[in-house]
Structure 1
Amino acid sequence: MLCINNTFTDAYFNIAAEEYLLKNFSDDIFMVWQNEPSIILGKHQDVWAEVNIDFVRDKHIKVVRRYSGGGAVYHDLGNINVTFIERSNNLDFDKYTNLTLDILSRMGVNAQADKRRGLNIDGLKISGSAQSIHKNRVMYHATLLYSSNLEYLTTSLESHNEQPENNSNIQSKIYVRSVKSPVTNISQHLANPLAIEDLKALILNDFIDNNSENKQYKFTEEDIKAISLLKDAKYATEVWNFNEASHR
């Protein structure tokens, strides 16, 4: 397995990086990464029904539609994201949930998984996940709320908007709606909270140290160029992020 410490924090780039790794690598991959403030939508969601557009524009929060399905989530530098990409011969999404629970347990966090593979502490959500499959490859990714701005999280995901009347792409289709849950930060449940960069390193090293076949991988110049091209052509565009009807 290739273990990637992704130091980029541009949400457009990072969501493009996931698709690039899913479609262009044959190795199993584990990636740890963070985004600057952003809303990450599921592929089949209506942005107007999920996002407080006025608030995110006022606060310069990016809205990015990801390759996988599921609901909308808020990211900032107090949130850690983990991505697993593997061959889908023995498909078992619960495996990834259990791996994440094991990491939290070793930190002293007693979390539980729900039926949607979300993780909770005392009924408060700390992690959501989503999955997608491309040919013989599967991608599972999850958030870990560590020290996020929960006020921004809640406000940015409270939609007060209606889709513009002049939107010519309104169709009679069913969009996936997010399932809202009360949330908490992991750091609030630790006696001695780590700095988030130390936690990120701990998670990555946990994978490298526990399997001799796992090795660290750094994006090459070719990788960065290809991801940037995909970002500019797709993930940084209004068409992709705000106009679900045109998705391909």
Structure 2
Amino acid sequence: MHHAIDEVLTEKMNEGELRPTLRFWYRKNPSVPMGRFQAYEDEVEHDYAKEKDIEVVRRVTGGGAMFCEPGNVITYSIYLPVDEVHDDIERSYQELDSFAVEALKSLGVDASYAPMNDIEHPDGKLGGAAQLRKDNAVLHHTTMSYDLDTAEMLRVLRIGKEKVSDKAVKSAEQRVSRISDHADHSREEVIEALIEKFTEDKEREESSLTDEELEEARELAEKKFSTDEWNRKL
């Protein structure tokens, strides 16, 4: 459903029907969101995911597979006109996640941007971002680990030795860091700090999804994002 909402709102931005928007969203179930161009069989331990009822869904954005748990990650999407986003992809990642880096620093987390699309702490990766660009719109979304079960992550994701060695680390678990390890703040307090930092130089208006947007997303979730044809097509 949330990936369908991303597509609906990005298309509205593309058609000039949406103001620049920051959306925080929350998964009800453990899940593995895969990058659009990844192969299902290469990324997911299928039997384990099925046994534990872990949802696997393909995003509309590129990037790598992640493991997400309800209440233990922080995910936001930003919808912007393409002319408000830098043409250089790497620079755009840095600029669009800069508010998050600064918000984490204000909470005492030694966060920094790491090319091309990561937010890191000296102890490991806090989160990663992905993008979709259309003619007139950009979707940028980021997921950060607040208190993720990294052992469970390693059980459900296929993280090969080559991928790990490329990062020059002893294990994949050492590559993951959690906000809760470095700041004595609740998840809600972290999200509020992110909102305040993002909007500190902007006019701010809080709103909810419209009935029309939700209905369009529900239809898209059923016909596309819930299907094996979409999720396992590679």
> For 1:29, which of 21, 28, 45 is the aligned residue?
21
1:238 is the counterpart of 2:211:
no
Shift of 1:114: 1.4
Partner of 1:39: 32
The alignment covers a number of residue pairs equal to: 213
CA distance in 1, matches of 2:126, 2:211: 34
CA distance in 1, matches of 2:131, 2:59: 11
Q: Verify the 8 A CA contact 1:145 1:184 in the aligned structure 2.
A: yes
Partner of 2:96: 96
Shift of 1:212: 4.8
Partner of 2:157: 157
Query: Would you identify which runs of 4 or more consecutive aligned residues in structure 1 move more than 6 Å?
Result: 177-180
1:222 is the counterpart of 2:212:
yes
CA distance in 2, matches of 1:134, 1:126: 28
Partner of 1:68: 61
TM-score normalised according to structure 2 size: 0.84
Q: Per residue, is there more helix in 1 or in 2?
A: 2
Instruction: Provide, for residues 55-107 of structure 1, a one-character-per-residue CA deviation record: whole Å limited to 9, x for no partner.
Output: 11111000000001111111112001011110111423121121211111111
Gaps of at least 5 residues in structure 1 are: 1-12, 161-176
TM-score normalised according to structure 1 size: 0.80
SS at match of 1:217: coil
Partner of 1:16: 4
Partner of 1:108: 108
Partner of 2:147: 147
> For 2:43, which of 26, 40, 50 is the aligned residue?
50
CA distance in 1, matches of 2:177, 2:159: 21
> For 1:197, which of 164, 172, 188 is the aligned residue?
188
